[in-house]
Structure 1
Amino acid sequence: MQRQLGTADRAARFYDQQVRSQLTSEMREFIGRQAMVFLATADAHGECDASFRAGPPGFVHVIDDRTLAYPEFRGNGVLASAGNMIENPHLGMLFVDFTHHHVGLHVNGVAHVYRDADLRGIHPGLPTDLAPGRSPEIWVHLTVEEAYIHCSKYIPHLEPAPRPATHELARPKDADYFTKPRMPQWASRP
């Protein structure tokens, strides 16, 4: 594709100047500030899945310049991302700063899924207070293969807002959101 569109030289410069085989200190600090990450996985047949994880800043724990770990808490039981990682351990992570520097960081590597106690046995310094009253069921441990910038050109500026209590939301429950007909009071408000 690069040859067809005439971008091979530009791409070669990008690989040479931007793509790293390990996290720089600036990348580690950036990850430590992030409260969300987008995940890209695929199963053994190449069927893709995109997902999102969030937590307090630093919930994706930087173990060292080649290793990250993040917790998985009890969810809907589907385990699409973790299931894909068992079949195909390649994981893509995209961290985006929407509020301050408007820049992103791609981190790609090989993931392994561990039970909480097993990974804590290997890395006892994992955080314990990520979600009050909840413990991770599993952890995803990523061995970094490459990390590189996602430029700021099209990253929108977003302002953090307080999250309303569930009973204050004028919308259906999550399980019904995309499956039930819309009522007029659920329509978006200007």
Structure 2
Amino acid sequence: MPLPPPPFGSAGEHQLQQQLGTADRAARFYDQQVRPYLTPDMRDFIGRQAMVFLATADSHGECDASFRAGPPGFVHVIDDRTLAYPEFRGNGVLASAGNMMENPHLGMLFVDFTHHHVGLHVNGVARLYTDASLRSFHPALPTGVAPGRGPEMWVHVSVEEAYIHCSKYIPHLEPAPRPAGHDPARPKDAEYFTGLDRGPAPARSAAHRPG
């Protein structure tokens, strides 16, 4: 009779652990570090973070990496198995949210670059809500997370696993104030990487688009 699958990790990572002889070490990590919920320390950590990196993929497995930022606590901890964060008006592409419409699995990485130099992975299942609809379930959602505008939608995340990203190789960064005025030598965002590009665009798949 085949053994049941391990509670954490993909089939691919378990296969590589067997091939490379790291299965025992990985088993200790799963047992000691990985949780199917957010511990109190994880919840406090998320509440202090002002940025998060996102990983999504569409139904074909085409990946997209993105980034969100806001005041500390903009990713709101609803309870030990649930997070929510707001999506505001951007470039209109909606790559991350569009992927979630096809494939709801979401990876989040919070990194503290300035204080404890540690990270937290949170993987789960995402669902999109309007501001009004999610507030009808969770009226304690924060307001004013972006001055002068409300979210276009909220991403509601049901946590499946959470675990540490160790401090090794996380650089120490000092927060810097924004410059008082516009630097005339700095291109506008819309032209930053493409302003001098006058050649034909190479062929690409629909998945390779702005995040």
TM-score with structure 2 length normalisation?
Answer: 0.84
Residue 133 of structure 2, aligned match among 118, 122, 125: 118
Q: Secondary structure at the match of 2:154?
A: strand
CA 1:142–1:152: 2 relative to 1, 3 Å: same
Over 3 Å counting, the alpha-carbon distance change for 1:24 and 1:126 in structure 2 is same
Between the aligned partners of 2:160 and 2:99, the Cα distance in structure 1 is 18
The CA distance in 2 between the partners of 1:59 and 1:166, in whole Å, is 27
Give SS of 1:168's match: coil
Corresponding residue of 2:8:
none
Across the aligned residues of Structure 1 and Structure 2, the Cα RMSD in angstroms comes to: 1.2
Report what 1:108 is aligned to: 123
C-alpha deviation, 1:168, in angstroms: 2.7
Q: What is the alpha-carbon distance in structure 1 between the residues aligned to residue 181 and residue 190 of structure 2? A: 13
State the one-letter code of the partner of 1:13.
R
Unaligned runs of 5+ in 1: 183-190
In 2, Cα distance between equivalents of 1:137 and 1:21: 29
- CA shift, 1:180, in A, is 1.8
1:103 Cα offset (Å) = 0.2
Residues 69-110 of structure 1 deviation map (CA, whole Å, 9 limit, x = unaligned) = 000000000000000011000000000000000000000000
* Residue correspondence of structure 1 range 27-46 to structure 2 within 5 A: 27-46=42-61
Q: Does 1:150 align with 2:178?
A: no
User: 1:7-56 deviations in whole A, cap 9, x for unaligned?
Assistant: 11111110011000000000000000000000000000000000000000
Task: Please say if 1:174 is aligned against 2:199.
Answer: no
With over 3 angstroms needed to count, the CA separation of the structure-2 counterparts of 1:6 and 1:124, relative to structure 1, is: same
Q: Which residue identity does 1:45 align to in structure 2?
A: H
1:7 equivalenced with 2:22 (yes/no): yes
For structure 1, which segment, 37-46 or 160-169, has the greater mean C-alpha deviation from structure 2 after superposition? 160-169
In structure 2, the residue matched to 1:83 is 98
2:182 aligned counterpart, secondary structure: helix
Q: Give the one of 70, 73, 81 matched to 1:55.
A: 70
Provide closer, same or farther for how the CA distance between residues 164 and 59 of structure 1 changes in structure 2, counting only shifts above 3 A: same
Q: Distance in 1 between matches of 2:173 and 2:181?
A: 22
Partner of 1:66: 81
Give structure 2 stretches of 5+ with no counterpart: 1-15, 198-211
SS at match of 2:93: coil
Compute the displacement of 1:169 (Å): 5.6
AA in 2 matched with 1:161: A
Distance in 1 between the 2:34 and 2:180 partners?
A: 42
Tell me how far apart the structure 1 counterparts of residues 21 and 128 of structure 2 sit (CA, whole Å).
Answer: 40
Select between 167-176 and 126-135 the one with higher mean Cα deviation: 167-176
Query: What is the alpha-carbon distance in structure 2 between the residues aligned to residue 32 and residue 157 of structure 1?
Result: 20
Deviation at 1:181, TM superposition (A): 2.6
Matches of 1:89 and 1:126, distance apart in 2: 22
Distance change (3 Å), C-alpha of 1:44 and 1:166: farther
Count, aligned residues: 182
Letter in 2 for 1:78: V
Question: Equivalent pairs: percent with the same residue?
Answer: 84
Q: What is the alpha-carbon distance in structure 2 between the residues aligned to residue 78 and residue 166 of structure 1? A: 29
Structure 1 outlier segments of 4+, above 4 Å: none
